[in-house]
Every structure is written in C-alpha cells, then in structure tokens.
Amino acid sequence: MKNHYNRRQFLRLSGSGLSGLALLPGIVSGMKSSVPTERVVETAYGKLKGLQSDGFVTFKGVPYAGSVSGANRFKRPAELKPWAGVRDALQLGNPSIQAPNQTYGINEPDPAEDCLFLNIWTPACDSAKRPVMVYNHGGGFVSGSGGSAMQDGANLARLFNVVVVETNHRLGLLGFLYLDELWGDEFAGSGNRGVQDIAIALKWVNENIERFGGDPYNVMIHGESGGGMKTSALYAMPEAAPYFNRASIESGPGLKFKSPELAAETTELLLSDLGLTKATAHKLLQMPAVQLLEAQLQLSKHGMRSLVSSFEGIGASGVGGFSPVVDGTVLPVHPFSPAACEISKNKPLLVGWNEDEQIFFSMFGGDLDAFKLTNDGLKSRLEKNFGDEADRIISTYRATRPEASPTDLYIAIYSMLSMGLGSVRIAERKSEQGGAPVYLYNFGYKSELKVPGTDYELGSMHAMDIAFKFYNVAATKGPNGTDIPGMAGSREERFQASRNMCNYWTSFAASGEPSAEGQPQWKPYDLNTRPTMRIDSQCALIDDRYASELAMWREILEPKTN
C-alpha cells in the first residue's frame, strides 16, 4: 500500500515552539514578547547584524568558508574573504543541492552549490563563555539543512544557557564523490568534502564564537540520523579533532564508512551513466549542478546499504550511494571498527537510539501493512531476512514482551537492527578503549499521535527526539486560535521529558557528565553492568537492557570463528 502522506508537511508540524515566540509551560512564565532589535557583532572577517529577541540573539546565514562552485567544485572551499561594512545575518543560508522538498526551514532559500553557511542562537553576545553545541542535521548524506524548524535553537539557547550552532555543508555527489584516484593530489579528500566542510565550520567556531558568548574550548558536536553518522566521522578526523571536546551520536551509529575501492566503483558508474570516460571526466567540472543532481538520483538505483547484516552500523552506503570514505587522509580510519578510534580516546561520548525507530521508516516507506501484521505476516517478513531463525527471533522478543502485538514485535526487532545494534557496539568499543567515558541511552517518550491511515501511535519513532532535545514541543496556534500539536503530541508530560533530555544534553556539553535535576544519576557504560538511560518524563537507568535480544543477535549476526 502506497503512503500518500506528505513527509514535508508532516515534519513541518514538529517545528512548534519556534524562535522563542511561544510561551513554554512550566519554564517561561511572565515573559513578554517584544519586537526584535538589531544586534551587531564583529567577527574575524567582518561585522554581522543579527536579531535580539527576549532571551536570545540569532545570526542566520553566516558564511564560514568561501566558494565551492566553479573552479572549487569537489575541492576544499576557497578561503573566506573579509567584507567591509555590516553584513546582514537575518535569513537562513542556501542549503546544499538536493532533491526537491527535503528542507524544512522557515523562509529558507533554494538549494545552491555555494552553501557553506551556519546559524547561531545565543542567550547573549557577551563574555560569558557558555558551552557551545554544534548540531549536524539529518537527511543521510544527501538531504537536509541546518535551518530545519524542528531543530531551531532558540529555546535551547535561552532556557539552558548554551550557544547553538548549525551548519549547511555539501551533500550527495558534490560532497562525497571520490575522485582521488582519477585526478590526484589536487582533489585528494574529495570523497569526504561534506564532513570536511563541517570541520572547517568548527575551526570558524573556534576563531569566532567567543564574540557570541560561547567558549571556543568547550564545544560539543552532535547530530541525529545522518547527523549522527557525520558526528561519527568527525570523531575520527584529524582536521576536526582540535575544535571539539565531546560528542553525541544520536540514531546514526556510523562505525564504518566506505572503502576507496567501493567509492571508486561508484565513480565509475557515474561516469558510465553520463556517457563519460576517465579521459573525459573533466566535464564533471563544467556540468550544471542540477544535471549532477539528476545523475545522482539515477545512480542511487544501483545499490542500497543493508540495515540488517551485522553489528557494524549504517555509515557505509553501497555502490551508487554517497557517504564518507576511509581515504587514509581526511578520514584515516573507521571511527569504531575494529575498535574506537585513538584520536578521540579522551573525548566523552553519548550514543543511543529511539525505542521505536522503525515506525518512521515504515510510515515514510509506504509500508502501512506493517501496522496491521498478523503472527504469520511477522514470521514471513523475518524469514525473508533470516530464514530458519525467524521463529527463534520471535520467541526471544516475545519472552520479554508477552503482551506485544505482531506489529509491536516487528517495530522492536527492526528498530534494534537499524539503530540499536550499532549504538551498543559503539558503547562497547568506546568502553573497552579505557579512555573518556561513554554513556548509552534510549529515547522512550511515546507520542500519542497516530500514523496517518492507521490506529497505530507514532511512539518513539525515528526523529521524534529532535524536537525534545531542542525544547520545541509546544503546540502552535492555528488561525482560529486552536492548538496545533507538533509531532510530540499533546500530553503535558512531553514538557518534562523534553526538559530532562535538554538538561542531560546541556550538562554533558558543559562538563562531559550528563545530569538532570530530579532524575537518576547517569553512570558511564561498562561491560559488566551495561547501564542504559531511558529518556522519558521520568527517566530510568536500566542495567543490561535488551540482554537476551542482544545475545541472540550476536549469535545470529556475528561471524563464526573456529
């Protein structure tokens, strides 16, 4: 059954409580809104004009590097040139070139090849030296932007006293086409331009964020889904290492990335699809960006990554896809395979996933049949992936969920396969390393809204956590004055769950130790007790969560050794 629901419209619903204009129950009382005033800050490159509102200041569309178009396509960005006078930083910058309707910002300009902009939300442009939280947007490695309404940073900045930064960076073919073996040193690192752009943005933050009230030596990087995978890559990159102190990988466990051999095969397929050879490949430099995007979309039909093959996460795309490349230079090693990378040994890490990730993927994949499974239907689906192991998988999950429906079991199984196994493996390998601590979590707050066309609730689906970690869970007012709930739903408990998540994340940003008033102490992950924090309106620290399920997956998925 095809899913007729518009993903763009749905995700826009989740951007409630934006820009600090809504009063947030239980946190902000007696605050009066006012007309924003201009605020000018001088950076190392020139003066920027932002907007100051009640309790926060925003600067949007701030350039952090030079051109990546024309002669700079597939290369490191040109140096950012200083400007004279005062430059407006009042509107979001252009996202990277991508398929239509994949960005969710308010008044966001169209995608463009020159896209290296960042946005800043800060409580004040003073000398307070607050923790800085640099968020990497989701969308895999092919879509999204740092201007999405759901991840607007105003509430997080003003209510939790941090500076929030989000970037746009190159995506897809323009950000991850591997040309090192084709054109040599001038294009070395081409398979990692998208994450290298973020590293360059981190350098900009280091040089300038003190002018925006931030501490350049107390920077946390984090991101969800594709942003989690980008964070994984940055965690292993020498170019990024000097400019961040801790990290959080959220529903995007990138243990391994693409090999040069696989990346080169993708490049060869692209040339073939475009009717080019190695001798005529230079035409890639002159083609309009829209033509390259069309070729990228066609190329994606050649291969897809597998989500169910091992504990090694989801970072590496298959032939025809785009993701970072372990090229030995920009990205010297896999971040967490076969072990946690040495370069970030002393940097604390948060890692985890949402309990009901698969709801999102089934809903937007058009698989509404997944929400009305029978026992036979569940077994049939598992047999396609696991053959004779299907009965064993069902009985293992049924033992810990005796009241679960077949759909409940399906969601639990495939949520673990897509995001859980890799997250656990990262926690294990980071703990084994014996350096800075790692903290494992599950996001568990359940939205009561229904999957369109079904009676099944959204629960803790993939991407549900974004609004919670930015405290954007308030309803918005419709034209007739009625409340329009965001993706988080309407239950009052959502505010406490969001406060808990924001407190844990911002305290981690400040000190490397997550804590939240009135909630359990979050102990670092270890290989004996294996504590996992479940994030909800009342959080719970659970030792050795999913023990029987994980033991089963290890036996089924890990290579057999003699």
Helix (H, G, I), strand (E, B) or coil at 34: coil
Model confidence at 477, pLDDT cuts 50, 70, 90, reads confident
Q: Check pLDDT > 50 for residue 7.
A: no
Ranges of beta strands (E only) in 227-383 are 246-250, 349-354
**Mean pLDDT, residues 163-189:** 96
- Please list, in sequence order, all residues whose beta carbon lies within 8 angstroms of the beta carbon of residue 474, skipping any fewer than 6 positions away: 16, 17, 22, 23, 24, 25, 486, 495
446 alpha carbon, distance to own chain's centre: 20
Q: Give the other-Cβ count within 10 Å of 494's Cβ.
A: 25
- Please list, in sequence order, all residues whose beta carbon lies within 8 angstroms of the beta carbon of residue 57, skipping any fewer than 6 positions away: 39, 50, 51, 120, 121, 122, 123, 124, 125, 212
Model confidence at 63, pLDDT cuts 50, 70, 90, reads very high
363 alpha carbon, distance to own chain's centre: 19
- What percent of the chain has pLDDT above 70? 91
How far apart CA 187 and CA 75 sit, in angstroms, is: 6
Q: Determine the Cα angle at 303 with ends 300 and 305, to 5°.
A: 105
How far apart CA 165 and CA 247 sit, in angstroms, is: 14
User: Between these two residues, 23 and 199, which has the higher pLDDT value?
Assistant: 199
pLDDT in tens, 404-433: 999 999 999 999 999 999 999 999 999 999
CATH of 17-347, one of 3.40.50.300, 3.40.50.1820, 3.40.190.10, 1.10.1740.10: 3.40.50.1820
How far apart CA 539 and CA 525 sit, in angstroms, is: 16
pLDDT in tens, 442-467: 999 999 999 999 999 999 999 999 99
How far apart CA 23 and CA 30 sit, in angstroms, is: 9
* Helix H or strand E segment including 172: helix 172-176
- What percent of the chain has pLDDT above 90? 86
Model confidence at 2, pLDDT cuts 50, 70, 90, reads very low
Listed residue (217, 214, 441, 465) closest to 349, CA to CA: 441
Q: Check pLDDT > 80 for residue 327.
A: yes
How far apart CA 118 and CA 199 sit, in angstroms, is: 12
> Please, are residues 174 and 143 in contact by the beta-carbon 8 Å criterion?
no
- Please list, in sequence order, all residues whose beta carbon lies within 8 angstroms of the beta carbon of residue 215, skipping any fewer than 6 positions away: 129, 130, 131, 132, 209
Which residue type does 57 have?
V
Q: Check pLDDT > 90 for residue 295.
A: yes
- Let me know if 128 is exposed, middle or buried by CB neighbors in 10 A (0-12, 13-18, 19+): middle
Residue the block writes with tokens 């949402």: 354
How far apart CA 302 and CA 297 sit, in angstroms, is: 10
Q: Determine the Cα angle at 246 with ends 240 and 249, to 5°.
A: 90
Q: Check pLDDT > 70 for residue 305.
A: no
**Mean pLDDT, residues 382-387:** 96
Residue 349 bridge partners (DSSP) = 247, 438
Compute the half-sphere exposure of residue 508: CA atoms within 13 Å on the CB side of its CA: 31
171 alpha carbon, distance to own chain's centre: 13
Model confidence at 310, pLDDT cuts 50, 70, 90, reads low
Ranges of beta strands (E only) in 102-237 are 117-122, 130-136, 163-167, 214-224
Residue the block writes with tokens 């390998």: 429
Q: Check pLDDT > 80 for residue 161.
A: yes
Domain ranges in the chain are 17-347, 354-557
Please tell me the pTM assigned to this model.
0.94
pLDDT in tens, 526-554: 999 999 999 999 999 999 999 999 999 99
Active site residues: 225
Indicate if the alpha-carbon torsion angle 329, 334, 340, 344 is positive or negative: positive
- The CA-to-CA distance between both ends of the chain, in Å, stands at 45
| pLDDT of 269 | 95
What is the CATH T-level fold of the domain 354-557, as seen in this structure? Rossmann fold (3.40.50)
- Take residue 378 and report the two structure tokens written for it: 């569940």
pLDDT in tens, 216-254: 999 999 999 999 999 999 999 999 999 999 999 999 999
Q: Check pLDDT > 70 for residue 33.
A: no
Q: Check pLDDT > 50 for residue 201.
A: yes
Q: Check pLDDT > 50 for residue 21.
A: no
Query: What DSSP state is assigned to residue 299?
Result: H
| pLDDT of 4 | 37
**Mean pLDDT, residues 182-200:** 96
Which residue type does 317 have?
S
Compute the half-sphere exposure of residue 384: CA atoms within 13 Å on the CB side of its CA: 5
Model confidence at 83, pLDDT cuts 50, 70, 90, reads very high
| pLDDT of 483 | 82
**Mean pLDDT, residues 72-100:** 97
- Take residue 270 and report the two structure tokens written for it: 């692209």
Which residue type does 139 have?
G
| pLDDT of 31 | 38
Model confidence at 309, pLDDT cuts 50, 70, 90, reads very low
Q: What are phi and psi of 515, to 5 degrees?
A: -150, 155
Q: Check pLDDT > 70 for residue 29.
A: no
Query: What DSSP state is assigned to residue 419?
Result: I
Model confidence at 15, pLDDT cuts 50, 70, 90, reads very low
| pLDDT of 5 | 40
How far apart CA 294 and CA 425 sit, in angstroms, is: 36
| DSSP, residue by residue, 458-526 | EET-TTHHHHHHTT----EE-TTS-EE--TT-S-THHHHHHHHHHHHHHHHHHHSS---TTS---PPP-
- Let me know if 3 is exposed, middle or buried by CB neighbors in 10 A (0-12, 13-18, 19+): middle
| pLDDT of 16 | 36
> Please, are residues 372 and 1 in contact by the beta-carbon 8 Å criterion?
no
Domains 17-347 and 354-557 share a fold: yes
Q: Check pLDDT > 80 for residue 286.
A: yes
